[in-house]
């Protein structure tokens, strides 16, 4: 079983690659829910949606979020009613938010609802929210504390970031199946997702970091930082706000407690050499994914690396 920890953009591209090269039934995807928000009275989970859509083959490639070919009639009508429309939801996307909210109101858990939506969309991979408890990523800025979507979507991540707080994380529990999946995985992969606001909230759920330390599976991460900057989005700004270097060394620092292999871009060959001296296995690959072939090629390389690691471990410890 291949277990992936992910957010919804770089992570969705990586998952798109994996689904091309392995059977969906082999995949368990543990997804960040720190970006979840209430929108027009509905429960929206942007990363769960993106991962579900990409596995269902309906994620919009142009936008990188939402359903391909979607229409926006409801958004327009809500605007005419004077409602906020900065968070764009297409009509088909909205149906998923309505359906999720209805099932949650009936008392189902986010894990159950996520599985039901995935099943109805024909997804065969297992998608797990990191937790059924509410964990909220809050970004402190000079204009006040913002939710992640307010900071990222409404205000275009233009505000200086003072700090990031993961409200509710200390009291959260991993969703059912999360710890078991990590402990019984053959490999654990950290997608090239934002280390502070996508992977960070997952690691902050009590028990998950410990499971990553204890699992016998090799843990590999793909760096979202290429050439000293994020490929897209605010990862660099957010890492700097945590006093982390915006570099592959910064990524290695966040994951140091459990990481076995870091996959970085070929552009980072020189810092990779420096990082290797610290004892970490660092592999260079073409990690910027613009086409389906590039996504599949990266997924294949990462899987080959971890299966090589598994073979080496088996040879040195036949028990």
Residue 78 half-sphere exposure toward CB, CA atoms < 13 A: 17
Given the complex with ligand GDP, which of 218 and 250 has the nearer CB atom?
250
Q: Which is nearer to ligand GDP, 95 or 288 (CB)?
A: 288
User: Closest CB to ligand GDP among 183 and 296?
Assistant: 296
Rounded to a whole number of angstroms, the minimum distance from the CB of residue 9 to ligand GDP is 3
Min dist CB 312 to ligand GDP, Å, is 25
What part of residues 187-216 is at the interface with ligand GDP (CB under 6 A)? 191-194, 198
Q: Give the shortest CB-226-to-ligand GDP separation in angstroms.
A: 6
Which of the ranges 17-25, 55-63, 217-225, 299-307 carries the binding residues for ligand GDP, by CB under 6 A? 217-225
Which region, judged by CB under 6 A, interacts with ligand GDP, from 17-25, 94-102, 137-145, 228-236? 228-236
Q: If binding is defined by CB under 6 A, does position 307 make contact with ligand GDP?
A: no
| Torsion, CA 127, CA 229, CA 35, CA 124, rounded to 10 | -10
Question: Residue 104 or residue 246: which is nearer to ligand GDP going by CB?
Answer: 246
Select the span of 1-9, 93-101, 162-170, 176-184 touching ligand GDP (CB under 6 A): 1-9
For ligand GDP, give the closer residue by CB, 215 or 287. 287
Of the two residues 36 and 47, which places its CB atom closer to ligand GDP in the complex? 47
Retrieve residue 42's tokens.
Answer: 């509905």
Cβ atoms 183, 210 nearer than 8 A: no
Q: How far is the CB of 314 from ligand GDP (least distance, A)?
A: 29
The separation between CA 105 and the C-alpha centre of its own chain, rounded to angstroms, equals: 26
Report in angstroms how near the CB of residue 262 gets to ligand GDP at its nearest. Answer: 11
Nearest distance from residue 66's CB to ligand GDP, in Å? Answer: 12
Residues 237-296 that bind ligand GDP (CB under 6 A): 287-289
* Distance of closest approach, residue 84 Cβ to ligand GDP, in angstroms: 20
Using H for helix, E for strand and C for coil, what is the string for the chain?
CEEEEECCCHHHHHHHHHHHHCCHHHEEEEECCCCCEEECCEEECHHHHHHHHHHHCCECCCCCCCECCCCCHHHHHHHHCCCCCCCCCCHHHHHHHHHHHHHHHCCCCHHHHHHHHHHHCCCCCEEEECECCCCEEEEEECCEEEEHHHHHHHCCCCCCCCEEEEECHHHCCECCCHHHHHHHCCEEEECCCCCCCCHHHHHHCCCHHHHHHHCCCCEEEECCEECCEECCCCHHHHHHHCCCCCCHHHHHHHHCCCCCEEEEEHHHHHHHHHHHCCCCEEEEECCCCCCHHHHHHHHHHHHHHHHHHHHHHHHHCCC
Residue nearest to ligand GDP (CB): 10
Of positions 2, 11, 178, 220, contacts ligand GDP by CB under 6 A: 11
Work out how close the CB of 261 gets to ligand GDP at its nearest, in angstroms, rounded to a whole number.
15
- Is 193 within 8 Å of 234 (Cβ atoms)? no
Stretch 22-61 residues interacting with ligand GDP (CB under 6 A):
35, 47
Determine the angle formed by the axes of helices 110-120 and 46-56, rounding to 10 degrees. Answer: 30
**Among 10, 66, 90, 201, contact with ligand GDP (rule: CB under 6 A):** 10
Q: Which residues bind ligand GDP (CB under 6 A)?
A: 6-11, 13, 35, 47, 191-194, 198, 222-224, 226, 230-233, 235, 287-289
């Amino acid at each position: 079983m291949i277990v992936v920890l992910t957010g919804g953009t770089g992570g969705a591209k990586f998952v798109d690659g994996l689904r091309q090269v392995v059977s969906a039934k082999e995949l368990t995807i543990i997804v960040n829910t720190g970006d979840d928000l209430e929108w027009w009275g509905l429960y929206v989970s942007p990363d769960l949606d993106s991962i579900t859509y990409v596995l269902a083959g309906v994620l919009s490639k142009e936008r990188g979020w939402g359903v391909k070919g979607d229409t926006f009639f409801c958004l327009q009508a809500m605007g005419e009613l004077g409602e906020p429309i900065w968070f764009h939801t297409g009509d088909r996307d909205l149906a998923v938010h309505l359906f999720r909210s209805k099932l949650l109101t009936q008392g189902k858990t986010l894990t159950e609802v996520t599985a039901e939506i995935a099943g109805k969309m024909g997804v065969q991979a297992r998608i797990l929210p990191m937790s059924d408890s509410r964990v909220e990523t809050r970004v402190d800025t000079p204009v006040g504390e913002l939710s992640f979507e307010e900071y990222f979507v409404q205000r275009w991540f233009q505000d200086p970031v003072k700090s990031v707080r993961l409200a509710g994380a200390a009291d959260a529990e991993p969703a059912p199946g999360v710890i078991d999946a990590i402990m019984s995985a053959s490999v654990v992969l950290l997608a090239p997702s934002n280390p502070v606001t996508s992977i960070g909230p997952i690691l902050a759920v009590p028990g998950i970091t410990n499971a990553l330390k204890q699992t016998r599976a090799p843990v590999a991460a793909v760096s979202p930082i290429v050439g000293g900057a994020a490929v897209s989005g605010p990862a660099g700004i957010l890492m700097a706000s945590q006093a982390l270097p915006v570099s592959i060394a910064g990524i290695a620092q966040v994951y140091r407690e459990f990481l076995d292999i870091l996959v970085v871009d070929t552009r980072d060959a020189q810092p990779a050499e420096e990082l290797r001296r610290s004892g970490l296995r660092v592999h260079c690959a073409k990690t910027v994914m613009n086409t389906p072939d590039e996504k599949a090629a990266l997924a294949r390389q990462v899987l080959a690396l971890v299966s090589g690691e598994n073979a080496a471990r088996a040879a040195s410890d036949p028990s």
